[in-house]
Amino acid sequence: MNEQTTDVIQGTLDLLILKTLSLEPMHGFGIARRVEQVSRGVFKVNPGSLLTALQRLERAGWLDSAWRNTENSRRARFYNLTRSGRKQLELETADWTRRASAVARLLRQDA
């Protein structure tokens, strides 16, 4: 596990999780794989961090979770976005866009 990569993710992990879950309910590994695939391998998610973050988001009231049986009849925990989670996603997306474009402007200026 690369410490630096994790650090980068940590700041935005919540946003990535909320965004991923806005499409459909998923279990932990599903979220990790989706993030990895969509980011084309830039973000690798550590299971410890991810599962802890899921707990935190759930306690904040942005996620709901339920135990369901998967196709091969294993117990798995599925997460889905709540209404306040959706609001939070909008907030965080706006916030992120604002920051990212500010950083981008600064970088353009420098170049």
Interface residues for another protein in 66-105 (CB under 8 A)? 67, 74-77
Minimal distance in Å, beta carbon 45 to another protein?
9
Our finding on whether 46 is near another protein (CB under 8 A) is: yes
Give least dist CB 31 to another protein, A: 10
> Using the rule CB under 8 A, which residue among 5, 15, 43, 58 binds another protein?
58
Pick between residue 84 and residue 101 the one whose CB is nearest to another protein: 84
CB-based contacts of 1: which residues, under 8 Å, 6+ apart? 44, 46
